[in-house]
Structure 1
Amino acid sequence: MNRLDGKIAFLSGAARGIGAATAKLMVEAGAKVAIGDVLDERGRQTVKELGDAAIYAHLDVTSEASWAEAMDATIAKFGKLDVLVNNAGIFNGKGVEEASLDDWHRLVAVNLTGVVLGTRAALPHLKKSKGNIVNLASIAGLVGSQLDPLYSLTKGGVTLFTKSTALEFGRKGYGIRVNSIHPGLIETDMGEKTFVMRAAQTGTNDTEQARKTTLGLHPIGRLGVAQDIAKGIVFLASDDAGFMTGAGLVVDGGWTAH
């Protein structure tokens, strides 16, 4: 079940957090992986822990040239590409009035443009392998977010880009599946940053209370961890999800069931 034997995967933003957990799980499932990130030291350490089944490539997801170099390095090492995981993303946590135009441009550059450029860079290789793409969206891309409207806007874009590219690639006969995964709040570096921002938004700076409030939104009774999302990504990337395209897998502890 959920095997990736002989598959080659590229994961953006995978030096740490969900991306690193996914890379580890993919290797355990039989894949070889290429990790792209701007956090070079952390990325190389992650690859060292994964051994010969992984390589690291410096990647600025907002740069078309950087994507081209990362893809070239992956193909030079492994000879093909079967899976693209558009994982890189940033969180802002500012409202419409508080965020600057520069804040917005940065969100768009990483969360939207990065996904488009990654898809374009991987497409020639995925057409050859009839591979698949997994995009990291969010529950904030499915339902409204009263505290993070701009972040929600970018993740909503990822959600519909996933569905639209699934339709486009199907219409063109590429045989490429495209799906998205929608995490709730996960205990990663980004998750911790979210608690800090939530506390600031309430004017208390009480991060522990922010954590408790967030926990209360999860009917399952706990916060998510990176491996919870990694398992979903590996499933979507595997042949077990072979009849899924244009779909969104929600892994949120029940948050959006409210």
Structure 2
Amino acid sequence: MRILLVEDDISLQSNLKQHLIASHYRVDAASDGEEGLFQGIEYNYDAAIIDLGLPKIDGITVITRLREKNRNFPILILTARDSWQDKVEGLDAGADDYLCKPFYPEELVARLNALIRRSAGKASPVINNGPFSINTSSLEVKKEHEFISLSASEYKIFEYFMLHPGEVKSKTVLTEHIYDQDFDLDSNVIEVFIRRLRKKLDPDNEYGLIETLRGQGYRLTPLPTSQSDG
């Protein structure tokens, strides 16, 4: 999952970035509203975390302009302001949730997980597809009742697929949601991870879990829910 973090407190920004990376998020950070707005318009994100008290352009304006540009990813606002009016103003501008400072980073990650799940139409942290399931809170992957061990990058790709079943995702899109902006987008590393996922999750191709569409990318096959009861 690729996250935009707009926070001018460099110490807090660094701390949050570490927690998000440890939770398998890929994070682009900005320290003022102008840079945050540019990144939010220019790049594709799964969610954004935006402080309201930003220099250059305040957080409310950033959110308003992002929504005007039809950037519809979930937005979690951070605010040191305690009044309900400020919270309402942020939500009315287009934010989806808020946290008041100070807060625990673990709560931020939990709220972010919930926002991303809801935006993908998933209410529970456990997402099922046939006999396969992931828990976006514990980062566990199962095939029926068996736990499957995935590397951090493998998990990120599989989670992204599970949140977007049936959608074709190009290698470029997958890379952008997993690696930093300076990563070589022409690398064949995604192909390697797809092969590993197939070997670990569906070694006999019983389910045709991850389909290759030549010249387009990859697609997670939606499987009947009844199979997950296995």
TM over 0.5: no
Looking at both structures, which has the greater relative contact order when contacts are Cα pairs under 8 Å and sequence separation is at least 6?
1
The structure with more radius of gyration: 2
Greater strand content = 2
Greater helix content = 1
TM-score, L = length of structure 2: 0.30
